[in-house]
Amino acid sequence: MLNVYTDTNFIKTHSIGEKFPLIYALLFDERNEFTEVKNYYQLVDSIEEAEVAFLPFSWNYYLNNNLQSEAERFVNDCHTNNLKVLSYVSGDEGVMPTNKDVYVFRNSGYKSKKLPNQIAFPAFFKDPLVHYMEKSTHQVRIKDEKPVIGFVGQATPNLLKVAKDIGLIIYRNLKFHLGKTLNEPQQWFAAPFMRYKYLKRLEKNTKIETKIVYRQRYRAGVRKNRSVDRTTYEFYENINDSDYIFNLRGAGNFSVRFYQTLAMGRIPVLIDTDCLLPLEGIIDWTQHCIRIPQGKEHEMEQRLLEFHQNLTQEQFEHIQKENRKLWEEYLTLTTFFARIHDLIRNAEL
């Protein structure tokens, strides 16, 4: 059991802020979804009792609300008491922490620009086999001669969308270089256009079966909860009916779809744009996905076909089962923090 300190008083006065996922699980688990986490971590009221500290909100929240001084105060108090501080950068738009002497968890970012204390973070979401799919309809797929690759999502050849996306990146990067913002600069990348380009290539290959649904906007533009649920069901049904799922980054340099594919026991085909994957020293990702290196995107179809053709039926079934098992045992909120518990205690992150 690891004794955890956080700023509970600050949390009470800023209830709408985006909380560090572990802190959320320890303090606000009204449905008892994360009870196992409490076998590894417990909150303590006193900083003197603690073994580690968690900055309660994402750096994005502090910076976007001009609360940097509150974050720095918390970090300084913890360092005065010889506590290492674990913090969190959320979402697509990465920010630069104002304090470099903290550990930073984040989904996004570039492997080649990784901070010394940066830890790759999986995306967390509801178990699709509990909330969106009938388990009776989810089966290990039988290997066919042609690989079946699926995708549902935003992918468009709209050049106005490309110009808008690139323009926003230029504006963001310019503000950073002028010292007007701590929002990190990003590579020029029009994700919906690039997805469309790669998906069309897959569709043209007669040796590959495709199940692709193109969306002009994220979640087909729907916003109401019932409509969101409908699009989520369609999304998971597509994964369920495919062997492989195409994955390419979005606005941030990571793919939630990558983890959703694993949770469904399917095989991701990842266009690796200098991505950071979690637990790379523990998980052999080559056993769980087809990872197309940056600069080798033109080999995507060939690599998919070779991978599929070299699998026996037994191996094909095994990787599907292992991918679901990997997600269950390493990549949910509970299991991820259980896996890194000893690393945090021993400062081996």
pLDDT of 119-161, one tens digit each?
999 999 999 999 998 877 899 999 999 999 999 999 999 888 8
Provide CB contacts within 8 A for 121, sequence distance 6+: 88, 105, 106, 107, 278, 336
Matching CATH number, 2-124+334-345, of 3.90.1530, 1.10.10, 3.30.70, 3.40.50: 3.40.50
pLDDT of the residue at 85: 95
Tell me if the domain spanning 128-331 has CATH number 1.10.1740.
Answer: no
pLDDT of the residue at 220: 45
Same fold yes or no, 2-124+334-345 and 128-331? yes
Of 78, 74, 31, nearest in space to 56 by CA: 74
Q: What is the mean pLDDT of the chain?
A: 90
Provide CB contacts within 8 A for 179, sequence distance 6+: none
Q: Locate the domains of the chain by residue range.
A: 2-124+334-345, 128-331
What is the share, in percent, of the chain residues with pLDDT greater than 90?
68
Q: How far is it, in rounded angstroms, from Cα 342 to Cα 349? A: 9
Report strand pairing: 209-215 vs 244-247.
unpaired
Q: How far is it, in rounded angstroms, from Cα 113 to Cα 268? A: 24
pLDDT digits (tens, 9 = 90+) for 222-265: 445 555 578 899 999 999 999 999 999 988 899 999 999 999 99
Q: Which helix (H) or strand (E) holds 210?
A: strand 209-215
Q: Which helix (H) or strand (E) holds 315?
A: helix 313-326
* Tokens read off for 325: 């098992």
Q: How far is it, in rounded angstroms, from Cα 61 to Cα 65? A: 6
Q: How many residues does the chain have?
A: 349
Name the residue with tokens 């688990």.
29
Q: Are 175 and 181 in contact (CB under 8 A)?
A: yes
* Tokens read off for 324: 């679901």
* Tokens read off for 104: 């930073």
- Write out residues in the chain with pLDDT < 70, as ranges: 217-228, 347-349
Q: Are 208 and 303 in contact (CB under 8 A)?
A: no
pLDDT of the residue at 224: 56
